[in-house]
Structure 1
Amino acid sequence: MASTVSTRFMIISDTLGFKFKNRRKAGNKVAGNFKHPFPNCDVLLHCGNLTRLGQPNEVEQCLQMLGSINAELKLVIAGNHEHVLDKEWWSKHKENTDDPDSPASLEYKRAVGMMTGPLAKEAGVTYLTEGLNAFKLKNGAQFTIYSSPYSPRFFDSAFAYGSAEDRFNPANAVAKGYRCIAENPMPNFPALDIVMTHGPPRKILDRKTHGNVGCGTLMRAISRARPRLHCFGHVDQAYGARWVRWEEDLNTIGQKAIEIVSNMENAYPQVTRSPMTFGKDTLMVNAAIGNGSGAQPTNAPWLVDLDLIKAPSV
């Protein structure tokens, strides 16, 4: 049996352009839980909605904010607010994007350059697009993560797909009535340790006042992949965590694959602990710390320990 290494993750989402220097105070106490000093962690995961309006200057501000958090590895995806990072959205809404020297083209290049160039490196940030990546940490742990900034279309949002489109499953795993548009489909168990998406899966931490808004095709993919952790944001009203136990049959997918769902309380700044068996259990975390109505995060980050496989010695 392969040896494991306990690895600590801090999970946040929907910081919405927050800057520490602009934090308001309530009396003598700083409002909210997202504040220095942060507990030690090995990996920071940011599940998107870095900005409020999706403009280049906000991207730079977010990198400055993330740079002040201490973690060996900081993995970040975009969300539906990040218009300037979504080439398709930006091209559709801005003039002369076919001209590489037009103001709109230069804004897009500048924003992507910030997320992938020297500014991101200085902040310790690794910007992930859609697909698979593998990482090895100083503690010897290794993990594979699937990331995607995409979520179901909401008005005129960035990184969006239609209600009858399946972005996460290969053609042979798509449900009836859906069209496969997957460019980077999620692989089956046991290929993944972590899934980080912007949007939630259907009926798991996805409820707004008017009902569930999560994605059924994403739930279908997660039930195939059975990662140790699935983290997301997007729906601030549904902030929280759930421990999911899957049915034994790996061929059962979608909502029917769920055997048990249990609520998990956030122990931050202590670690939220959940005994999990890889392939049987997944910790689902909605880490939206912003409340959507202002620039002040109101929810605490999540601090989670995962037992990851130790990389073989070279």
Structure 2
Amino acid sequence: MLLEHLNPWHRPASEFEPTAFAALLFQAPVKLLLYHTYHLLTYLRSTPKPSQQPPIRVVCISDTHNHTPENVPDGDVLIHAGDMTNDGSAAEIQRQIDWLCALPHREIVVISGNHDTFLDPRTRPSLSGEQRRGSLNWKRVHYLQHRRLSLTITVQHKDGDQVHTRTPLLAAEESHRRIRIYGAPQIPACGPMSVHAFQYERSRDAWSETVPEDIDILVTHTPPKFHLDLALPKGIGCEYLLREVKRVRPALHIFGHVHWGAGQTVVWWDKAHDAYVRGLSIESKWTRGLLNTRLWLNVVRVAYRGMRELLWDRVWGGQSPNTIMVNAAQMHGTTGKLGNSIQVVDI
């Protein structure tokens, strides 16, 4: 296995493994250029500032698979984006709930992942009798399954590590914020439908007009396509979810599922992003995109529009509508061990 990863021409045996750079350079050279051009210009733009003050600190985790990460950062809200377990038994899920409830965060929100089998009535029969036995006690955890949640968070103004309250009246007005969260677990099929929870056929639209428009945080298990999901050569996230996120434009979108995609990025809903998605969606055959005029045009659009947006941001201080996207997977690839950083976002 190690030799395969050292081989620059290695083609992954699974869609959840990254394709080596040299293999991508051969298979999809124009898309590789498009991908890196878009992400370089995105990286150079400034970080969005919280729309309201004081900010709410959101700690994001996912794909713990029965493990309990150490040194979880402090925050106002802790969100787990699914795959708490491996086998999905009631006992495994309860142990994760108990661990989450022992953390000091004021609010804890959880959705299911495809490995949390017990939570989907369609896949629960695949568990043994012992694995199905018992019921879950969610305690203070908010479990969201196609559900919207509104929370009032008490926060305080901070300068560095100092907490400031100026007058009792002003402190009372500024220390409460209301956030709206929507969670949904469904994913494009990646395994047996009778075993993996909340799956739908990849060609099916399971998202359009399902997410409320007034939410601040969206929590899903699957990534939107081409975003923190091993976008090359084809992407394994959901294109219908991407359209829905673009329609709703939440401040924060948290997901997991694709362990190698862990991290966070800002998606700016502008014409550079439109060209990026269009370009990666184009299918190229034997020419590998080298003779595809439409693909090259989208590379040019990403570079031109991206530079305009970058100048507008850095020179004039303007910003397009945006969403912070976080792949919060804790599992490091397919190693079976935790290794990815816990993501923290202020909104």
Query: Is the structural similarity TM-score above 0.5?
Result: yes
Whole-angstrom distance in 2 between the partners of 1:8 and 1:223: 23
The one of 78, 82, 94 aligned to 2:112: 78
The one of 76, 89, 94 aligned to 1:42: 76
The one-letter code sitting in structure 1 at the alignment partner of 2:67 is F
Between the aligned residues of both structures, percent identity stands at 29
What SS class does the counterpart of residue 6 from structure 1 fall into?
Answer: coil
Whole-angstrom distance in 1 between the partners of 2:276 and 2:243: 4
Alignment match, 1:64: 98
CA contact 2:124–2:132 (8 Å) conserved in 1: no
The one-letter code sitting in structure 1 at the alignment partner of 2:251 is R
Change (3 A) 1:210 1:247: closer
Residues 30-65 of structure 1: CA deviation (Å, up to 9, x unaligned): xxxx413x3320000100000011112211221232
1:144-183 alignment, distance < 5 Å:
144-156=180-192, 157-170=196-209
Change (3 A) 1:94 1:253: farther
What is the aligned-residue RMSD (CA, Å)?
Answer: 3.2
Whole-angstrom distance in 1 between the partners of 2:270 and 2:231: 27
Alignment match, 1:298: 339
Is 1:87 equivalent to 2:121 in the alignment? Answer: yes
The one of 41, 60, 67 aligned to 1:18: 67
**How far 1:186 moved relative to its partner?**
1.4
**How far 1:166 moved relative to its partner?**
1.2
Larger Rg: 2
Alignment match, 1:181: none
1:92-241 alignment, distance < 5 Å:
93=126, 103=129, 107=132, 110=134, 113-114=135-136, 117=137, 120-121=138-139, 124-139=140-155, 140-156=176-192, 157-170=196-209, 185-188=210-213, 191-207=214-230, 211-241=234-264
What SS class does the counterpart of residue 154 from structure 2 fall into?
Answer: coil
**How far 1:295 moved relative to its partner?**
4.8
Change (3 A) 1:131 1:167: farther
CA contact 2:229–2:236 (8 Å) conserved in 1: yes
Query: Aligned pair count?
Result: 240
Whole-angstrom distance in 1 between the partners of 2:306 and 2:202: 27
Alignment match, 1:31: none
CA contact 1:40–1:71 (8 Å) conserved in 2: yes
Whole-angstrom distance in 2 between the partners of 1:204 and 1:3: 26
CA contact 2:118–2:127 (8 Å) conserved in 1: no
Q: TM-score, normalised by structure 1?
A: 0.68
**How far 1:303 moved relative to its partner?**
1.1
Alignment match, 2:46: none
Change (3 A) 1:68 1:253: farther
Whole-angstrom distance in 1 between the partners of 2:83 and 2:178: 27
Change (3 A) 1:276 1:161: farther
Q: TM-score, normalised by structure 2?
A: 0.62
More strand by percentage:
1
Whole-angstrom distance in 2 between the partners of 1:291 and 1:211: 21
What SS class does the counterpart of residue 204 from structure 1 fall into?
Answer: coil
**How far 1:246 moved relative to its partner?**
0.8
**How far 1:169 moved relative to its partner?**
0.7
Gaps of 5+ in 1: 20-33, 96-102, 171-184, 262-274, 307-314
**How far 1:149 moved relative to its partner?**
0.8
**How far 1:134 moved relative to its partner?**
1.3
